[in-house]
């Protein structure tokens, strides 16, 4: 078998406890674990043994299998590869988009004192009373979808003078070194290729932006 073909049966043995001790595994039971025939399961065990990835001991009450150091090394290498993909300590999502005039839904939030208090406490800055809207390119749109898996900051709704004010979600980001956040109102009607940004400064002025300009939004994440 190739290393890739070795991994599936080796992982099954590991999940059955074969890393730390010998485990009793019949060909029938192993076949059920792999979703294959007993004959195929038996051939895979023999192949793993021949490649030095497992030891196999036949006793009167059945066969006992344990993963060798070589087998453990193969599993650990695979684990490290997946960990580097999914568990990076720090990384960035970069969203590139075009400045546009937008719906301005988020602008509503930065004009109300009760929301401003939460922005300052939860995001670490008091936003300029306005927002910047971006229409993302295809790569930016795909990156935006992945942001849904990150931990967003909830801006909670409240009631005042018999009027209900809705919630919003915010995700800290930066543009040109300025503290910003993507804001998504609780009842947003934005298409997925559009984002609205709040910032500590008036970005159009600070960055000299006009409609049609291309800028990059950086979202840092920590695992």
Residues flagged as binding site: 102-107, 131, 133, 188, 196, 201-204
- Known binding site for Mg(2+): residues? 131, 133
d(CA 111, CA 130): 8
The dihedral through the CA atoms of 174, 175, 180, 182 has a sign that is negative
| First-to-last C-alpha distance (Å) of the chain | 35
How many angstroms separate the CA atoms of 179 and 125, rounded? Answer: 7
Binding-site sequence positions for FMN: 188, 196
CB atoms within 10 A of CB 193: 15
Alpha-carbon distance 112 to 222, whole Å?
31
Question: Residues marked as binding for CDP?
Answer: 102-107, 201-204
Taking each continuous run of H as one helix and of E as one strand, the counts in the chain are 7, 12
Q: How far apart are CA 71 and CA 80, in angstroms?
A: 14
HSE at residue 178, side-chain half, CA atoms within 13 A, is 23
Please state the φ and ψ torsions of residue 22, each to the nearest 5 degrees: -75, 140
Could you tell me the CA-to-CA distances from 215 to 41, 159, 162, 206, 208 in Å, in that order?
A: 55, 37, 41, 13, 11
């Amino acid at each position: 078998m190739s290393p890739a073909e070795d991994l599936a049966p080796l992982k099954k043995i590991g999940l059955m406890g074969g890393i730390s001790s010998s485990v009793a595994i019949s060909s029938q039971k192993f076949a059920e674990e792999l979703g294959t025939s007993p004959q195929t399961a038996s051939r895979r065990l023999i192949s793993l043994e021949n490649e030095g990835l497992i030891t196999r001991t036949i006793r009167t009450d059945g066969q006992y299998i344990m993963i060798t150091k070589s087998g453990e090394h193969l599993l650990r290498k695979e684990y490290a590869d997946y960990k580097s993909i999914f568990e990076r300590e720090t990384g960035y999502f970069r969203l590139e988009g075009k400045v546009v005039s937008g719906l301005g839904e988020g602008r509503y939030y930065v004009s109300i004192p009760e929301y401003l208090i939460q922005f300052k406490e939860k995001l670490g800055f008091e936003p300029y009373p306005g927002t910047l809207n971006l229409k993302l390119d295809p790569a930016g749109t795909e990156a935006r979808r992945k942001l849904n898996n990150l931990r967003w900051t909830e801006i909670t709704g409240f009631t005042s003078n018999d009027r209900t004010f809705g919630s919003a979600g915010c995700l800290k980001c930066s543009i040109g070194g300025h503290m910003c956040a993507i804001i998504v109102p609780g009842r947003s009607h934005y298409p997925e290729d559009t984002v609205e940004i709040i910032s500590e400064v008036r970005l159009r002025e600070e960055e000299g932006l006009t409609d049609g300009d291309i800028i990059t939004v950086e979202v840092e994440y920590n695992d």
